[in-house]
Structure 1
Amino acid sequence: MAKQQQWNASDIDDQTGRTAVVTGANSGLGIATVDALARAGAHVVLAVRDVRRGEAAAGTVKDAKGSVEVRRLDLADLSSVREFAASWTGDLDLLINNAGVMNIPEARTKDGFEMQFGTNHLGHFALTNLLLPYVTDRVVTVASGAHKIPSSNHMHFDNLHLTGGAYSPMTAYSQSKLANLLFTLELQSRLASEGWPVRALAAHPGWAATNLQGHDASVVRRALMAVGNRFFAQDSKAGALPTLYAATQDLPGASYVGPDGFAEMRGGPTLVGRSAAASDPVSAVHLWRASEELTGVTFPQLSEAKAAL
């Protein structure tokens, strides 16, 4: 029996007339996602912290049926998130929460949040809720298999910013990725409760060679990652396939997509499982409420907000 051909970016349906926002789109998985959607006909907004680098990345998208533009967004600064959302007009078919930082030395966002939790989760939490009245199809958030690491078998609700000596780069990263999945779970629950036809999904790239690994706080991990990126990892185009699959295929809300190969490290996109901690609706609600308190952003009254646009 012939092996079924792996789904790839050329299988994306025509995206002409659709608009997407991709955060962290100036390199790696982000620009690979932008390129594939633009080639399929979408208008794609690169939401990036460094506009100059964003423009350079946009210039690499060649021979696309669609179009690209660059707008500034710093997820580590809630004022920037609010400014980006306030400037938005018109329908937004796809919001792809792709940006992230990984395993960095301890740092704080402009608002005083632990940098990985603040950027990877809280910035996207605020952005999504502020843009949600404009979203017509789905929100895709990029998580990671790192959410299964033992240090993240629960959210550290008593110390979300890992202060007082509790910080370690991997604990902070894995907690932020667990938060991405709990966010997706509760967002889908709220959308369904409202009867709103927008879906929340998540994806992870497996082991993809990107520039994230080069910022690891550990010299040893950086060296190991460099070897792994060279000999074992997928390239960014392959790593972006789960995100693109989640963004364009007819999947149920709260679906989680990753590679179908060994340990979900590489391969074609398929539905994959979460850890028990990432499937806990009680934790999802608790995280949502904590995120609202920290950011000052709440789930919108969608019918009223849509009517006001």
Structure 2
Amino acid sequence: MTGWTADRIPDQHGRVAVVTGANSGLGLVTATELARRGAHVVLAVRNTEAGEQAARRIGGDVEVRELDLASLDSVRAFTGKLAVDHPAIDLLVNNAGVVLLGPRRTSADGFELHLGTNALGHFAVTGLLLDNLAAAGGARVVNLGSITHKTAHLDFDDLMFERGYRAAAAYGRSKLATTVFGVELDRRLRAAGSPVVSVLAHPGLTRTNLTPRAWEHRGRLGRVIARLGLVATQPAARGALPQLHAATDPGVRGGQFFGPSSLWETRGRVAEARLSREAADPAVGARFWAVARELTGVRYL
């Protein structure tokens, strides 16, 4: 396969990059490549011991900070300290996520766990760091979506999936919410004349530690399914390329969405991806934004 590779990342010296979920999978690859190019990288992780291990693997100019996206108290503590220590932030990669295929679970704030972690936690982080991003001049926010957003639906009458819970559908909904957020953020940044740029990416079908963990509760069947996934997916180093491209390529414009180019966007070289009709709908974006502000208490733009 040919196309854009991590070797094309421009020099990142003097830039501060924050990557959520940076201790493994796509986040680890992203943080590693940014550090390799000279960025000061903040590894925002729930498990700081795992984060320190990742920092030793990455080397370079990195620091580890605790962030549990399933807790708004943790989000506020993280962003409060980070905002003081780094008045200007050049890049925020909202990469972290959970995939759970067991029974319904909730976050510390009572949100369905997929939605609370993957979408609402990142909505809050972004808003609380927006002044720091604006101070950098030309900063970017990258939200990590998924091809599962294309078949998902935001049911605003039951956003937390309290009725008829299905884990796979809840995950897809959370990734649609994340995508809607990234697109609506672009609209609002443009309208406000902000120098911050919002872009999106998805990894196609990529091997990370999330899928095996999701199937652990299914015993032997789960282990078989996880092994089959190793055959059908691409490695994390390739899956991270769309978000690295979105984060660093000089030609990227606000609102663009990147993913793999082949086999229904499951794998291949980096290319522009397609948004679902619902993800691109301004009315859906405005409604989700209002709900997210109300649920998180974080109001911006």
Specify if TM > 0.5.
Answer: yes
SS at structure 2 position matched to 1:263: coil
Partner of 1:304: none
Letter in 1 for 2:143: T
Shift of the alpha carbon at 1:228? Answer: 2.3
CA contact (8 A) 1:213 1:222 kept: no
Instruction: Label 1:201 to 1:222 Cα distance change in 2 as closer, same or farther (>3 A).
Output: farther
Letter in 1 for 2:62: V
Shift of the alpha carbon at 1:221? Answer: 5.9
CA contact (8 A) 1:103 1:172 kept: no
SS at structure 2 position matched to 1:111: coil
Q: Runs in 1 of length 4+ with deviation above 6 angstroms?
A: none
Cα distance in 1 for residues equivalent to 2:140 and 2:20: 15
Aligned residues: 289
Instruction: Label 1:222 to 1:254 Cα distance change in 2 as closer, same or farther (>3 A).
Output: farther
Shift of the alpha carbon at 1:193? Answer: 0.7
Alignment counterpart, residue 20 of structure 2, candidates 16, 20, 23: 23
SS at structure 2 position matched to 1:267: strand
Cα distance in 1 for residues equivalent to 2:223 and 2:166: 15
Cα distance in 1 for residues equivalent to 2:256 and 2:101: 29
Partner of 2:79: 85
CA contact (8 A) 1:202 1:246 kept: yes
The more displaced of 219-228 and 154-163 is 219-228
Letter in 2 for 1:200: S
SS at structure 2 position matched to 1:60: helix
CA contact (8 A) 1:15 1:41 kept: yes
SS at structure 1 position matched to 2:143: strand
Letter in 2 for 1:232: A
Measured against aligned partners, the alpha-carbon deviations of 1:18-55 in whole angstroms (never above 9, x if no partner) come to 01000011100010000000001101000001101100
Instruction: Label 1:109 to 1:93 Cα distance change in 2 as closer, same or farther (>3 A).
Output: same
SS at structure 1 position matched to 2:225: helix
SS at structure 1 position matched to 2:7: helix
Alignment counterpart, residue 146 of structure 1, candidates 143, 148, 157: 148
- Pairs within 5 Å for 1:138-217: 138-149=140-151, 152=152, 154-164=153-163, 166-216=164-214
Cα distance in 1 for residues equivalent to 2:80 and 2:25: 27
Shift of the alpha carbon at 1:222? Answer: 5.4
Partner of 1:72: 66
What TM-score comes out, normalization by structure 1 length?
Answer: 0.90
CA contact (8 A) 1:215 1:222 kept: no
Shift of the alpha carbon at 1:224? Answer: 2.5
CA contact (8 A) 1:208 1:234 kept: yes
Cα distance in 1 for residues equivalent to 2:239 and 2:183: 22
Identity %: 45
CA RMSD of aligned residues (A): 1.4
Letter in 2 for 1:79: D
Partner of 1:57: 54
Letter in 1 for 2:149: H
Segments of 5+ residues of structure 2 without an aligned counterpart are none
Measured against aligned partners, the alpha-carbon deviations of 1:237-296 in whole angstroms (never above 9, x if no partner) come to 111100000001121111100011211111111111111111111001100000011000
Cα distance in 1 for residues equivalent to 2:78 and 2:241: 27
What TM-score comes out, normalization by structure 2 length?
Answer: 0.93
Instruction: Label 1:100 to 1:222 Cα distance change in 2 as closer, same or farther (>3 A).
Output: farther
Shift of the alpha carbon at 1:139? Answer: 0.2
